[in-house]
Amino acid sequence: MRVRDALGPLFADEDFEHERFAGMFAALGRPALSPGLLAMVTVLQFLHNLSDREAVVAMADRISWKYALGLDVAETGFDASVLAEFRARLAEPGRADALLDTVLDKLKAAGLVRAGGRARTDSTHVLAAVRSLGRVEMLGESVRAALEEIARVAPERVVPLLAPGWEERYGRKVETSRLIGRGRGKATMEELAGRFGADGSLLLETLKADPTAGWVLRLPQVRLLAQVWEQHFERSEGGGWVLKAVTDLPPAAELPISPYDPDARYAVKRASGWEGGKVHLTESCDEDLPHLVTDVATSAATVQDSAQTTDIQERLLARGLGPGVHVMDAGYPTAANLIAAAGHGITLIAPVTVSSGRGAKTGTFSPGEFEIDWDTGRARCPGEKVSNPMRGQKNGLVAFSFSRRDCTPCPLRTACLSAPAPRPRVLVVHPREPYEARMNAIRTQHTPEWQKVYNQRAGIEGTISQAVRISDLRHSRYRGLPKNHLQNVLTGIAINIRRLGAHYAPTQTKPRRPTRIQALYDTHHIGKPA
């Protein structure tokens, strides 16, 4: 209610006529329901973590919602299915970000966010809305999902394939405990995987042999089945289908973990694994303004944080909210990101690893302890020996190799090399520009001024905590990255409404009540001058 009093409606029907929402509604006629109203109801739904039905009931029942939505007191609402249809429209590429852009345009016009200030970013994991499956169960469910999809659109193509035993295997959800009974063991599990492999291959080969079934092969679940079979199975010498060794599987970034959410991936971070994706929240953190979410990024779980750094900054610049200082944790900076940020006029404040690679684990001299003369193309080691001329490598790096006659008798050899003599030291680093950007960042991060600015990064942890508490950010409501991204964007807008409500509150928050020990110190003036 306070946000509406101060800023007016956050969404108007005219906003959805902007080119950023192109194709969302038909060009002729008007929508049956106001898109501005539906957008605000959807945001309030995430602010209170409600289901569709609960949101419609709250719209018809709560005076505060009616005031915020500009509705008559007698308004009774609409059918809850409308919200699902509206979200499906918003989940199309680019529209979720356009919804956030619409809010940020109003906040920018009100002077609540601005360019050239400070921003901070961090990520957290998001669990997929699917059942956790073992490898064999996932293969069985892939067959079942393909059969269910074909049966839904063309049941006549499935009927000839239904052999004895398929009803038990694919008639309901696949569970290895049910299908192998008490005979749990490697041989039994391999036998079940072989059955799944034969069934899935029979289905695919039958469809490929039918010249009229080309459109069936293009169904999403059928295409996924073909992908999974190529990744997991191979022919045995006897002509059957056997599982590939784990070492022969593609990387985790290419392996679906469930046929019902093909975008979900398995990832591990700090010894904790999860199945799903990631969300990156960016907020402004200027001292004289409320801290508001200015960007939301969603990625697969296997995507490194550093792959998002430049994209986040470019989106902020496109919104006219490019920060002067961007504070992040150690997962975001790379040499390329440091250069890109500087090119945009952004100072990236993030810890840069002092030593990486083999030298970080063996305690050998790091690249930063070598003096590199880029003009002559040579490096000088801590033992004052000069390398051979610089040479390029296939991976884009450059190498400085030292001679054996210098490295073999060197008294610092044990501190520089873990390899036995007479192998010399070879220093492999980035080319000049990224190397110098990284070294400059390393030197700067030990200054008191840098530490003072970096301390502000901790505030983004509170934002993620708030998103988890008010909207259950770490659990996906939907399947697929587009819908997960929409959920994350709506959560970010909901956080902004919560913080704007606090910003426009008529009274300030009361100070925290002191503990009993603090009260005793204050009462008896302990430690204070008389």
DSSP for 269-309, written as a single string: ETTEEEEEEEEEEEEE--TTS---EEEEEEEETTS-GGGTH
Evaluate the CA torsion angle 337, 339, 345, 348 in order and state its sign: positive
Are 318 and 454 in the same domain? yes
pLDDT at 237: 81
User: What is the reported pLDDT for 438?
Assistant: 86
In the predicted structure, residue 214 carries a pLDDT above the cut 60: yes
As a whole number of angstroms, the distance between CA 202 and CA 345 comes to 58
Domain range for residue 325?
A: 118-125+275-353+442-489
High-pLDDT (> 90) share of the chain, %: 63
- Give mean pLDDT, residues 23-43: 86
CB 389 within 8 A of CB 403: no
Closest Cα to residue 120, out of 392, 461, 409? 461
Asked whether residue 169 is assigned to any structural domain, the reply reads: yes
Amino acid 98: pLDDT: 95
In this prediction, residue 358 carries a pLDDT of: 45
Measured on CA atoms in the order 457, 460, 462, 468, is the torsion positive or negative?
negative
Say if CB 347 and CB 341 are below 8 A apart. Answer: yes
pLDDT given for residue 84 in this prediction = 94
Quote the pLDDT of residue 509: 67
**Residue bearing the bigger pLDDT, 446 or 509:** 446
**For the chain, how far is it from start to end, CA to CA, in angstroms?**
49
**Rounded mean pLDDT, 461-480:** 94
Strand residue runs (E) in 371-528: 371-373, 378-380, 391-392, 398-401, 426-429
Residues forming a β-bridge with 281? 122, 296
Does residue 132 register a pLDDT over 70? yes
Both 140 and 223 in a single domain?
yes
Element of type H or E holding 338: helix 335-343
Q: Is residue 106 part of a domain?
A: no
Task: Determine, yes or no, domain membership for 110.
Answer: no
- The pLDDT of residue 360: 43
SS3 state at 471: helix
Q: Which residues contact 440 (CB under 8 A, 6 or more apart)?
A: none
- CB-CB contact of 97 with 432 (8 Å): no
Range 506-511 average pLDDT: 74
Find the mean pLDDT for residues 224-245: 90
Residue-wise over 158-170: b if at least 16 C-beta within 10 A, else e? beeeeeeebeebb
Q: Is the pLDDT of residue 58 over 90?
A: yes
* Residue that has been written with the tokens 């041989």 in this structure: 187
Looking at the fold, whether 454 and 467 belong to one and the same domain comes out as: yes
Q: What is the pLDDT of residue 508?
A: 67
* pLDDT digit string, tens, across residues 361-404: 445 778 888 899 999 999 999 889 999 999 988 778 899 999 98
- Fill in the DSSP letter of residue 23: T
Residue 216 lies in a domain: yes
Range picked from 24-38, 280-294, 417-431 for highest mean pLDDT: 280-294
447 and 330 in a single domain? The answer is yes
CA–CA gap between residue 393 and residue 460 (Å, rounded): 40
Q: What local confidence, expressed as pLDDT, does residue 408 receive? A: 86
Residue 500's Cβ-side half-sphere holds a number of Cα atoms within 13 Å equal to 26
Q: Match 């009540």 to its residue by tokens.
A: 513
Same domain, 336 and 216: no
Q: In this structure, are 150 and 249 located in the same domain? A: yes
- Token representation of residue 447: 């200054």
Q: Are residues 176 and 80 in the same domain?
A: no
- Range name among 98-112, 349-363, 421-435 with the lowest pLDDT average: 349-363
**What's the mean pLDDT in 286-290?**
92
- Does 144 have pLDDT greater than 90? yes
Residues 247 and 318 in one domain: no
Distance CA 44, CA 4 (A): 13
In the predicted structure, residue 424 carries a pLDDT above the cut 80: yes
| Shared domain check, 422 and 364 | yes
Max mean pLDDT range (13-22, 117-126, 331-340, 407-416): 117-126
Q: Nearest-CA neighbor of 196 among 149, 139, 150, 244?
A: 139
State whether 389 and 319 are in the same domain: no
Report if residue 248 sits inside a domain: yes
Angle at 478 between CA 472 and CA 479, to 5 degrees: 130
**How confident is the model at residue 270, as a pLDDT?**
82
Query: Within this chain, do residues 239 and 328 fall inside the same structural domain, yes or no?
Result: no
- Pair 266, 255: CB distance under 8 Å: yes
The whole-number pLDDT of residue 186 equals 63
Q: Give the pLDDT score at 361.
A: 44
For residue range 320-363, list pLDDT tens digits in order.
Answer: 999 999 999 999 999 899 999 999 999 999 998 765 444 444 45
Q: Do 144 and 230 reside in the same domain of the chain?
A: yes
Task: Enumerate long-range contacts of 186-194, CB under 8 Å, 24 or more apart.
Answer: 189/136, 190/242, 190/243, 192/136, 192/140, 193/135, 193/136, 193/139, 193/242, 193/243, 194/240, 194/241, 194/242
How many domains does the structure of the chain reveal? 4
